[in-house]
Structure 1
């Protein structure tokens, strides 16, 4: 399943909290011209380094499918950032 929503929580040093909800599909559609450029650059890199483009695409797909449920937390002093993928 492709991730639907990325939640970013940020606790500032002064104790105030900021929560951002980022929907994946609209962002992906807005950045689709850059995605096309990135895919073509990845294809050129695969051919340059003699890596199977199908295998690289399969690995990227598996990574994308494994993202839902991922939580990444960073904390330094009184500042904290939590990124949650649903």
Structure 2
């Protein structure tokens, strides 16, 4: 299952938390022309380094498939960031 929503939270300097919800599908649709260029550039890089393009694509797919449920937390003094992928 691909990720549906990415939630980013960060603590402001006054101690309050800010939250940002980013829906994955609309953002992917808006950025699809750039995504197409990135895939094309990745294919050229794979061919230049003699890496199987299908193997690389399969690896990227496995990473995307494993993202739901992932949490990244960074806490450094007064600043804290939490990114959650659902």
- After TM superposition, give the deviation of residue 13 of structure 1 in Å: 2.4
Runs of 4+ in 1 over 6 A off after TM superposition: none
Normalised TM-score (structure 1): 0.98
Once residues 66 and 17 of structure 1 are traced to their aligned partners in structure 2, the CA distance between those partners, rounded to angstroms, is: 27
C-alpha separation in 2, matches of 1:37 and 1:75 = 35
Identify the residue that residue 58 of structure 2 maps to in structure 1: 58
- Residue 44 of structure 2: aligned partner: 44
Q: Secondary structure at the match of 1:22?
A: strand
- SS of equivalent to 1:14: coil
Counterpart in 1 of 2:84? 84
* Paired position in structure 1 for 2:75: 75
Flag structure 2 segments of 5+ consecutive residues without an equivalent: none
**TM-score normalised by the chain length of structure 2:** 0.98
Q: Specify every segment of 5 or more residues in structure 1 that has no aligned partner in the other structure, as ranges.
A: none
Q: Once superposed, what is the RMSD of the aligned Cα atoms? A: 0.5
